[in-house]
Amino acid sequence: MRKAVIDLGTNTFHLFIVEIDKGEMKTLYKEKIAVKIGQNGISKGKIANDAIKRAIHTLKIFKTVLDQFEVTDVKGVATSAIRSAKNGQELVELIKEETGIHINVISGELEAELIFEGVKAAMEMSNQNHLVMDIGGGSVEFIIGNDQEILWKKSFEIGAQRLLDKFHKSDPMPAESVDEMFVWLADELADLKTALEVHKPTGLVGCSGTFDTLSEIYLNQIKKERKLSSTTFKLPIKDYHDIHRDLLIKDKAERLAIPGMVSMRVDMIVVASCLISFVLEDLDVKHITACTYALKEGLLYSDRALTEISDSK
């Protein structure tokens, strides 16, 4: 049996096709395309016309691949940028009309739950509380939980594209802009601070391209290759802070020259790393666990996804 997941993120669109045989899941195809539908519009509450064109073009590519693999069981979801845009539903309808692919616009709450399901599929959570953090372009999800349950979860509309538009207006990002961002985050993330005080997580798990890129930079520094089969990687806190300080003093061209830097992350990685730095102020952890599983894997592994996400065509 073949299944596919399409994840329409604010920065990146993902297509993930798997084959399930006797309980075993085998990856057949994986693709991510930097569509950046939040660009030039997300802070205005709409999706720009050029972003709509990129979105439709990418979904037509995905449809061709789905047909080639003869996949009919497709779960398509859209998150923050489409969820919050005034013309988000229009885009969903246009995608259906142009490609035949049905996209479900999911709530931030369900997004957070599915991210946690993906993380649990990637690693042993243990009975210790962990903070899971997924930095998207439009929203950021925080989940506190363990191997038994989710204790707290919330989606905040403070994703990297929004932070970039609001605070990173000159390059390198000035110290006063970083300070301004931290003051703003203290107000925006007051609920998170309270949850951390109540549940006292002992570990930080980071999902998304930002954490992947930070890990790649670190691996390049220590001359080590990541195993392709690995779903998690530990980034020591001291090394993270060293990388973060380096990002703050470099402009875009200098960041691009950092070994391990991914070009599609070069614009947003500074504000995303500032967000991580802010969160770490209230955590006592020795390393960050970067996790390659998140929303799309949660869609495949979660029983709830089968019942709560419509299969209407």
- Find the CATH number of the domain harbouring 10: 3.30.420.40
- Same domain flag for 192 and 229: yes
Residue 201 and residue 236 in one domain? yes
pLDDT at 312: 38
**Are 168 and 244 members of one domain?**
yes
CATH number of the domain encompassing residue 221: 3.30.420.150
pLDDT one-digit tens code per residue, 87-142: 999 999 999 999 999 999 999 999 999 999 999 999 988 899 999 999 999 999 99
pLDDT above 70 for 157: yes
State the pLDDT confidence band at 303, using cuts at 50, 70 and 90: low
Say if 68 falls within a structural domain. Answer: yes
Which of residues 77, 105, 133 is at a domain's end? 105
Residue 267 lies in a domain: yes
pLDDT tens column, 42-84: 878 899 999 999 999 999 999 999 999 999 999 999 998 899 9
- The answer to the question of residue 238 being in a domain is yes
Assess whether 94 and 129 both reside in one domain. Answer: no
> Same domain for 139 and 270?
yes
Residue 150 sits in the same domain as residue 275: yes
Decide if 98 is inside a domain.
yes
Q: Is residue 34 a contact partner of residue 264, using CB atoms and an 8 Å limit?
A: yes
Q: Examine the domain organization and report whether 151 and 236 are in the same domain.
A: yes
Where does the pLDDT of residue 9 fall: very low under 50, low under 70, confident under 90, or very high at 90 and above?
Answer: very high
The answer to whether residue 275 sits within a structural domain is yes
In a domain, 311, yes or no: no
Q: Is residue 283 part of a domain?
A: yes
Whole domain around residue 178: which residue ranges? 122-295
Looking at the fold, whether 196 and 262 belong to one and the same domain comes out as: yes
Instruction: Specify whether 154 is located in the same domain as 248.
Output: yes
Per the structure block, which two tokens stand in for 313?
């065509």
13 — phi, psi (to 5°)? Answer: -100, 135
158 and 85 within one domain? no
What average pLDDT is seen over the chain?
Answer: 92
The structural domain count of the chain equals 2
From the list 13, 159, 144, the residue with the least C-alpha distance to 80 is: 159
Same domain, 54 and 161: no
pLDDT tens per residue, range 225-281: 888 788 999 999 999 999 999 999 999 999 999 999 999 899 999 999 999 999 999
In a domain, 309, yes or no: no
* Residues 258 and 191 both lie in one domain: yes
